[in-house]
């Protein structure tokens, strides 16, 4: 296993970060326009259905104690409520309000528009790019601490 510099590899990591940065920049801008800080907006996108705090923490790759604060913010803004799960009253489901649903749709729409604009240049090669990235990610298991935050 060589430890030499690998220019292609370095370019590749830079490009992945740059591409993610563009997407994230667009997402954060869209979130800000809707009056949402990044982490709260990120959680919102993940609420296609009610979800326990625990799942959100796992999805965000962060400590559960952190999720408390983020969901507090969403609750303050009236976009979400906590509903104790009937089956197990320890767990609380985070559920979108009507306003939360609206805000989420708007956020997704804007986010997708950003993505479309970014990937426009390669047009037909979209599938090829997707397959390559999928192969990369299928390769090694998630080592945790991915930290989706600041999408």
Residues in contact with its own copies by CB under 8 A are 3, 5-6, 8-13, 15-26, 28-29, 61, 109, 111-113, 115-122, 125-130, 132-140, 142-151
- The answer to whether 37 contacts DNA (rule: CB under 7 A) is yes
Sign of CA dihedral 101, 55, 58, 115: negative
Size of the chain, expressed as the number of residues it contains: 151
- The answer to whether 143 contacts DNA (rule: CB under 7 A) is no
**Residue closer to its own copies, measured from CB, 26 or 100:** 26
98 touches, from DNA, its own copies, none (C-beta below 5 to 8 Å by class): none
What six digits make up the tokens of 1?
A: 């296993």
24 touches, from its own copies, DNA, none (C-beta below 5 to 8 Å by class): its own copies
* Cβ–Cβ < 8 Å for 138, 11: no
**Residue closer to DNA, measured from CB, 3 or 48:** 48
- Least separation in angstroms between residue 148's CB and its own copies is 6
- Least separation in angstroms between residue 117's CB and DNA is 21
CA distance 72 to 150: 18
CA distance 58 to 45: 15
C-alpha distances out from residue 27 to 17, 30, 93, 138, Å? 15, 5, 25, 25
Q: What is the Cα gyration radius of the chain?
A: 18
User: Rule CB under 7 A: which residues touch DNA?
Assistant: 37-40, 52-54, 57, 60-73, 82, 88-93, 145, 147, 149-150
């Amino acid at each position: 296993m060589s430890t030499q510099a690998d220019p292609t590899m370095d370019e590749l990591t830079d490009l992945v970060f740059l591409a993610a940065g563009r997407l994230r920049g667009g997402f954060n801008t869209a979130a800000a326009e809707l009056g949402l800080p990044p982490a709260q907006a990120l959680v919102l996108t993940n609420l296609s259905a009610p979800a326990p705090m625990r799942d959100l923490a796992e999805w965000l790759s962060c400590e559960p104690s952190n999720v408390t604060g983020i969901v507090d913010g969403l609750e303050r803004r009236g976009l979400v409520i906590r509903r104790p799960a009937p089956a197990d009253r320890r767990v609380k489901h985070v559920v979108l309000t009507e306003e939360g649903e609206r805000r989420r749709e708007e956020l997704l729409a804007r986010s997708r528009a950003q993505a479309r604009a970014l990937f426009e240049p390669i047009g037909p090669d979209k599938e090829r790019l997707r397959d390559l990235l999928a192969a990369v990610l299928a390769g090694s298991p998630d080592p945790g601490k991915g930290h989706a935050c600041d999408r």
